[in-house]
Amino acid sequence: MDRYLLLQVVPPFSISLGVVMAALLLERLLALFNMLASNGSSMKTFLALLTDLVPHYLGLALPAAMCVSVFSVIRRMSQNHEIDALMASGVSMFRIARPFIIVGTILGALSFSLYGFIQPYARYDYRSALYFASHSGWAPHLQSHMFAAPSRDLMLTAEKVDDAGSRLFTVFIRDNSSHEVTRYITARKGYLYIPNSDEKIRLDLIDGTIITDRHDKSPSIIHFDHTTELFSPHGQLDKMQANRSRGQTERELTLPELYHDIRHGMPGIKHSYLVAELHFRLARTIAIPFIPFLACALAIMAKRQKRSIGLPIAAVTLVGFDHTLQMGLSLVANAHMSPLVVIWLPTLVFAVGCVGTLVWRCGGLRVLLMAPHPSSQRVLSPDGLPTRTQDSHP
């Protein structure tokens, strides 16, 4: 039975996760694409930013996808009277919901890693990549037949550019950085990138010529097989190097780092912000295993009922709970309120409400946990007529 239920929940979970992720990413993708296109950034930069966005929206999509998938499976089983058949054979509603609760617990453990470790790094990588893409302009990506001026005294262009703008063919450079001479450089091929350990953009040129014009003397010509040019873009590299390191905001700290900074302090971040962020992440993680309770409870429908408002109620409940936690986060961070009141109390109410709703919809705790009592079962005689139950009194 567990295998059957899990196989039933996988397709709607996959579809729901894809739809929710697409809906959440669509607006951000359009804004990113417009910004990167205006700055001349490559598709490689766009895909990198998209990858960094996935963990953030995955944390929002997982609870919604799990709720929708469990609701759809239980709703279909209820319409097809599979729930009635299982309960009539002695299987309790809690036993039916058990594989979904186990899946919710597993997703809660995955969400702990997602909220506590993956999202802080992904958020920092996204902001760094976006900062670089919005401030670097052309560097380190060029376009074919485009004249780029990395500085006031430097101009370069290439006939053909590929590999996301880092590999150049038929390169021409004019360098006036030394006011006494002017250098003209041509090369058959070039590789442009910014080394992580260097403060300058590096351009490796292959098979070219350097013409040095000293103005008052005859120009000199040098042929080379390989040479390297280093230059700093005027007004651009300083801004890129000014980008901060990870951990200067509480949302970029992992859970161990938050706990450490709460105990020992963190310069530049208020103590209340650290406390609020830690409790907020833990509360969101702990609430996930209780979502299957709510979905199972709201999916059970009355007989001869064609329409149900269970899914809208579940959606409003999840969205309301998430906004309540966000409000609690703000109150703890800015108003210095206790997280036990504004974060953990709503979490406790949500958890008890999910379990209590399933108990109420199933007719009480005894019906939820136990099989139907033998006294409630009808026994048929060999001729098909109902007789006395096995333990009923004459």
Average pLDDT over residues 164-183: 82
pLDDT of residue 233: 56
Give, as one character, the DSSP assignment of residue 372.
P
Cβ burial of 33 (10 Å; 0-12, 13-18, 19+) is middle
Task: Check: CB of residue 165 under 8 Å from CB of residue 141.
Answer: yes
Q: Which long-range contacts (CB under 8 A, 24 or more apart) does 166-175 make?
A: 166/140, 166/141, 166/191, 166/192, 166/193, 167/191, 167/192, 168/142, 168/192, 171/205, 171/208, 173/203, 173/229, 175/229
pLDDT confidence bin for 138, thresholds 50/70/90: very low
Question: How far apart (Å, rounded) are the C-alpha atoms in residues 368 and 154?
Answer: 77
User: Please, which pLDDT band fits residue 367 given cuts at 50, 70 and 90?
Assistant: low
271: which 2 tokens?
A: 């103590």
Reduced 3-state DSSP string for 291-307: HHHHHHHHHCCCCCCCC
What pLDDT score does 347 carry? 97
At position 173, the amino acid (one-letter code) is I
Tokens 């470790």 correspond to 117
Of 139, 221, 232, 142, nearest to 185 (Cα)?
221
Of 197-201, 244-248, 264-268, 286-290, the one with minimum mean pLDDT is 197-201
Place of tokens 């329409």: 307
Round to whole Å and give the CA distance between 164 and 24.
27
DSSP state of 16: H
| Helices 119-136 + 2-38 axis angle, to 10 | 20
Q: What is the pLDDT of residues 233-248, one digit of tens each?
A: 544 444 444 456 788 8
Say how far residue 230 (Cα) sits from the centre of its chain. 37
Report whether 325 contacts 284 (CB < 8 A). Answer: yes
Q: What percent of the chain has pLDDT over 90?
A: 45
Q: What mean pLDDT is reported for the chain?
A: 82
Q: Are 181 and 212 in contact (CB under 8 A)?
A: yes
**Is this model's pTM higher than 0.95 or not?**
no
Distance from C-alpha of 291 to C-alpha of 355, rounded to nearest angstrom: 9
Stronger pLDDT, 17 or 367, i.e. the higher one: 17
Q: In the chain, where does DSSP find H-type helix?
A: 2-38, 43-79, 82-88, 93-113, 119-136, 237-241, 255-264, 271-287, 291-299, 310-335, 339, 345-361, 365-369
Does the pLDDT value for residue 391 go beyond 90?
no
Residue 342, classed as helix, strand or coil, is helix
Residue 122 pLDDT exceeds 70? yes
Report how far residue 392's alpha carbon sits from residue 394's, in angstroms, rounded to the nearest whole number: 7
Phi, psi of 320 (to 5 degrees): -65, -40
User: Can the peptide bond before residue 339 be classed as cis, meaning omega within 30 degrees of 0?
Assistant: no
